[in-house]
Structure 1
Amino acid sequence: MPTPEPDPWAALQAFTAARIALGRSGSSVPLREALAFKLAHAHARDAVYSALETGRLLAELAALQLPACPVQSRAQSRQDYLQRPDWGRQLDDASKTTLTKQAAGECDLAIILADGLSATATNEHALLLLRHLLPPLQKAGFRLGPVVLAEQGRVALGDEIGQRLKARLALVLLGERPGLSAPHSLGAYLTFGPRPGLTDEARNCVSNIRPEGLAYPLAADRLFFLVSESLRRQLSGVGLKDESKLLS
């Protein structure tokens, strides 16, 4: 078996998770790299079909003394979710009733944990992020609604949830589309004045939240800045820039 030829770009591997400097074995990539690619592809597929660990997340939220409730989108299965994106943006009838009962008056922020395209990301990272984000939110005196766990949910599902909870601001934490180097990346989407019919220019996004990407403390700092500014300025999306790095 021929020895893989060294790649002059090999030193750059220390600066990126991208597949560069794989080397060569004849006219192809080395076998180990071909197998690693297939394994990464399998991890990405598994992430798409992973399920939200609702029971465990509810127990951990209860330990944090946070009221929480599970809901479901109109997509009743993963197949529905993937084939009908519009159903993932709408609550089913039972969940509408549940949230109407949960609404106890206006709140500043509704936090929604959803599976998105990688429930693995939400299962692994959402509670760890909240442990860093909740203390400054509570210290600032923001009124929090019950945490909502949404199965088969997409980003826009937070608009209807936020409206039904009478929230000024909705924060959706969900798994981003898996890549071949990150099958478990968490995204955070912030929308002021949530209501059905909003589109993506009305949102702010903090993405790639995971230990190998944007660390929990830094992500929490950025989200706290955006939440504070969004409530102060009464807007989100293209009109609100992340200027947290400019603060001393």
Structure 2
Amino acid sequence: MSDDPAELPAHSDAAWADLRALTRARIALGRSGAAQRSRDVLAFGVDHALARDAVHLPLDEAALQTELAGQGWETLCLHSAAPDRARYLMRPDLGRRLAPESAAALDAACGRWGEIELQPVLADGLSALAVQRHAPAVLAALRERAGPSLRLGPVLIARQARVALGDEIGERLRAQAVLMLIGERPGLSSPDSLGLYLTWAPRRGRSDAERNCISNVRAEGLAPAEAARKLLWLLREARRLGQTGVALKDQSDAPALEAAPAAPRLGGA
């Protein structure tokens, strides 16, 4: 039989080796008789278990606070109105608002933080693993690239949180914009994908159409430094337009815009 991939059967591993090297997606799975091969079935089972585990794995707040303190961040832990994981999964609406005690703690502490241009929130979402692994690196890259000109709030760590929880947080702090770093829904090849959601002028009732999302931040996806670059471009444009969402298209990779300053100045002159 020829070794030329073009002449091999469509199900041959050799015919798809180059393409498989570029993706973790399941493509051109082979078969044994009328069934899938045992190794493919077992690999699917492992990845499915990892995805399910990522949904239920709790966020290690203490470890996250220790790591962020080492970077010089002040932190505050919050909780949504969903009292546990089961309720969080069954009642998405509870994950979109703060528990009363967290709202009170935030209101009591916000006076000492002054004007906030960008408020970062780390949220477990549907994959605490993503936040644990990648959020500190994104924050470090963001602060390094933005420099002292960007007034960042403390890092708020929110458990049982949905994206829209950032709207209430940003509104209570009167922040110009809120950044949610949240674990995305796990996939069979990506149980630790982190999403960044930017909302200008956050307030309760904002819709998903009023946000911009940078997705797939992880080792096999978008690097933290690249995510920070895109985020700061979006933040500068959000201030210019006075809005985020469908009105703000990500053109951060356009050649004509690449030379623009990396760190926005969101305050006064």
TM-score norm. by structure 2 comes to 0.87
Structure 2 match to 1:219 = 227
Residue aligning to 2:218? 210
5+ long unaligned stretches in structure 2: 1-10, 260-269
For 1:1-248, list aligned pairs within 5 A: 6-7=12-13, 8-104=15-111, 105-139=114-148, 141-246=149-254, 247-248=258-259
Name the amino acid aligned to 2:35: S
Shift of 1:133: 1.0
Q: Distance in 1 between matches of 2:190 and 2:173?
A: 33
Aligned-pair CA distance for 1:88: 0.3
Q: Which moved more, 1:40-49 or 1:95-104?
A: 95-104
In percent, how many aligned pairs have the same letter? 49
The CA deviation at 1:48 is: 0.3
Q: Which amino acid aligns with 1:93?
A: P
2:131 maps to a residue whose letter is T
The structure number with the bigger radius of gyration is 2
Question: Is the CA contact 1:169–1:231 (under 8 Å) kept in the aligned structure 2?
Answer: no
Deviations 1:34-88 (A, max 9, x none): 0000000000000000111111111122222211100000001000100100000
Counterpart code for 1:99: L
Q: Unaligned 5+ residue runs, structure 1?
A: none
How big is the shift at 1:115?
Answer: 0.3
Q: Distance in 2 between matches of 1:54 and 1:231?
A: 32
Task: Give me the whole-angstrom Cα distance separating, in 2, the residues matched to 1:18 and 1:41.
Answer: 13
Offset, 1:216 = 1.4
Once residues 102 and 199 of structure 1 are traced to their aligned partners in structure 2, the CA distance between those partners, rounded to angstroms, is 27
Q: Helix, strand or coil: the match of 2:124?
A: strand
Deviation at residue 136 of structure 1 after TM alignment:
2.1
User: Is the contact between residue 102 and residue 165 of structure 1 (CA under 8 Å) also seen in structure 2?
Assistant: no
Please tell me whether the aligned partners of residues 209 and 216 of structure 1 are also in contact (alpha carbons under 8 angstroms).
yes
Give the drift of 1:137.
Answer: 2.3
Letter in 1 for 2:73: L
Q: Which amino acid aligns with 2:107?
A: T
Q: CA deviation at 1:94?
A: 0.5
Take 1:103 and 1:136, find their aligned partners in 2: how far apart are those partners? 25
Aligned residue-pair number = 243
SS of aligned partner of 1:107: coil
Aligned residue type for 2:132: N
CA offset at residue 9 of structure 1?
A: 3.5
Letter aligned with residue 114 of structure 1: A
> Matched residues in 1 for 2:141 and 2:27: separation?
34
1: CA distance, partners of 2:121 / 2:239: 17
Q: TM-score, normalised on structure 1?
A: 0.94
